[in-house]
């Protein structure tokens, strides 16, 4: 039996026992142990520190496997104990036939895909190298990570898993603020916005806000915010703080807030190079587009730190995801047909595989009706249509893109907004339509309106 099959058996038991599957770093260590690698070899191969694998990940992995197998698991005996455990369970009839399915999701039905993929979902494609790169960066004092991708490309799903790994490591505390939840009145004024950030941070850390003890109109809101973090938030915590800001592009629509807040973030990053207490603070900034409000190079947080740009699924990843949906017989030809329609967009791929899993249609039927009002993508397409109808400049530019076979140059702000919506891809700084689904649907809608 392969290691992957054993992992598929262990994960549901681990979920029952302590409410989570093997995480990405545990899987790396387990595969390395299985292949008789040293911790140093595993760490070098995956871009981690040896001490992190040897002193943090491996002991926790062995503890969890020991609980499941009821035997003391070590690096030396891990493979033998797992093989023995699976064999004994199988021969004693303690495992059902579904336990030996080829897929992690064999006994778990998928939920309708909507929004971020939940933690511990077997229908998430782990991006091991990206996750490892981010976690390694966040281990550095004063780190800053920037995650960029259009809508529905998996930014929030990735962020949830990064924060989950950090939360399970007792060396970190985490805060995750989605700026879509900030009222528009909050985003109109830097003083209001910074106080909103401080109150939310204090709440997440279970501290009293005590804002009035640190806020001083005479020195201004940015200096008040700085003193609040330095003398209150960072002083109160013993471990590094991962501070994640999701949907940061919400701020881009407010130029004055942009010009005040982002230089403040950059100054915190620079301060960590000089002042030890600021090294506790590590930022993760998640956004859909490049910033389109001009900032001086030395004041921008978008040209420092670790940049991560998420891409769509490739054919191999779609094949892997199809197996998780128990679509073992899906062929590469069918994957190519699906990619030709939806371009590897994770949200659109998940939706297609979910409906194929349900068995109410085959791929040919799904693709034939994809752009219609009865197709599986009707909600997403209508949502984009309404948004474009409300923004005539975007609609006009996107119509030009859809009617052109070559990449074209658009107004920079229009380009950024269409890219944020996921409707276009960028080739350099030129735009092409994101996928055939969008091109055929919108061309059809425009044709109807012209009649």
Could you read off the pLDDT of 70-116 as tens digits, one per residue?
Answer: 889 999 999 989 988 887 765 554 443 333 333 444 457 888 898 88
Asked if the model's pLDDT at residue 3 lies above 90, the reply is: no
Question: CB-based burial of residue 316 (10 Å sphere; 0-12 exposed, 13-18 middle, 19+ buried)?
Answer: exposed
- Asked whether residue 320 carries a pLDDT value surpassing 60, the answer given is yes
Q: What pLDDT is stored for residue 156 in this prediction?
A: 92
**β-strand partners of 424:** 433
Phi, psi for 262 (deg, rounded to 5): -65, -40
Evaluate if residue 46 carries a pLDDT over 70.
yes
Q: Per residue in 230-242, pLDDT tens?
A: 999 999 999 999 9
**Rounded CA gap, 46 and 39, in Å?**
11
What average pLDDT does this structure show over 205-218?
94
Mean pLDDT of the chain: 88
Domain boundaries, the chain: 3-100, 128-309, 315-339+348-367, 379-450
Looking at residue 98, what is its pLDDT? 32
- Confidence band for 222, pLDDT divided at 50, 70 and 90: very high
Instruction: Summarize pLDDT for 249-300 with one digit per residue, the tens.
Output: 899 889 999 999 999 999 999 999 999 999 999 999 999 877 766 778 888 8
Specify the higher pLDDT residue, 360 or 5: 360
Residue 311's pLDDT band, with cuts at 50, 70 and 90, is: confident
From the candidate CATH numbers 3.40.50.920, 3.40.50.300, 1.10.3720.10, 3.50.30.10, the one assigned to the domain spanning 128-309: 3.40.50.300
Q: Which two tokens stand for residue 142?
A: 């004063």
In this predicted structure, what is the pLDDT of residue 104?
Answer: 40
How far CA 365 is from CA of 30, 66, 155, 369, 391, in Å, comes to: 42, 48, 30, 6, 33
């Amino acid at each position: 039996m392969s290691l992957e099959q054993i992992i598929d058996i262990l994960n549901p038991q681990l979920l029952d026992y302590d409410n989570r599957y093997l995480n990405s770093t545990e899987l790396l260590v387990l595969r390395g142990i299985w292949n008789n690698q040293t911790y140093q070899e595993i760490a070098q191969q995956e871009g981690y520190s040896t001490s992190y694998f040897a002193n943090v990940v491996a002991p926790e992995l062995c503890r969890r496997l020991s609980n499941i197998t009821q035997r003391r698991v070590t690096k030396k005996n891990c493979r033998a104990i797992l093989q023995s455990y699976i064999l004994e369970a199988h021969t004693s009839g303690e495992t059902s036939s579904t336990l030996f399915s080829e897929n992690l999701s064999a006994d778990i039905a998928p939920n309708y895909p909507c929004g971020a993929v939940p933690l511990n979902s077997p229908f998430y494609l782990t991006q091991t190298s990206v996750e490892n790169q981010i976690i390694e960066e966040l281990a550095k004092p004063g780190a800053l990570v920037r995650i960029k991708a259009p809508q529905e490309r998996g930014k929030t799903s990735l962020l949830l898993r990064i924060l989950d790994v950090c939360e399970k490591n007792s060396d970190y505390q985490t805060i995750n603020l989605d700026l879509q939840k900030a009222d528009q009145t909050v985003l109109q004024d830097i003083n209001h916005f910074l106080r909103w950030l401080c109150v939310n941070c204090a709440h997440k850390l279970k501290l009293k806000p005590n804002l009035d003890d640190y806020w001083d109109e005479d020195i201004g809101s940015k200096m008040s915010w700085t003193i609040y973090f330095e003398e209150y938030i960072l002083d109160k915590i013993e471990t590094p703080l991962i501070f994640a800001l999701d949907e940061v592009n919400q701020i881009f629509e407010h130029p004055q807030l942009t010009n005040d807040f982002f230089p403040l973030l950059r100054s915190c990053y620079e301060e960590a190079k000089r002042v030890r207490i600021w090294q506790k603070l590590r930022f993760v900034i998640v956004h859909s587009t490049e910033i389109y409000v001009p900032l001086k190079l030395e004041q921008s947080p978008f040209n420092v730190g670790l940049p991560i740009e998420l891409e769509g699924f490739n054919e191999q990843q779609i094949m892997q995801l199809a197996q998780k949906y128990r679509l073992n017989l899906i062929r590469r030809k069918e994957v190519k047909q699906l990619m030709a329609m939806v371009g590897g967009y994770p949200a659109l791929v998940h939706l297609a595989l979910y409906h194929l899993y349900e068995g109410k249609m085959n791929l040919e039927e799904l693709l034939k009706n994809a752009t219609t009002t009865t197709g599986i993508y009707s909600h997403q397409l209508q949502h984009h249509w309404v948004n474009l109808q409300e923004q005539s400049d975007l609609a006009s530019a996107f119509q030009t893109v859809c009617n052109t076979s070559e990449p074209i140059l658009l107004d920079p702000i229009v380009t950024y907004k269409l890219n944020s919506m996921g409707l276009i891809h960028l080739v350099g700084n030129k735009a092409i339509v994101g996928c055939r689904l969008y091109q055929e649907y919108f061309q059809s809608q425009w044709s109807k309106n012209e009649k």
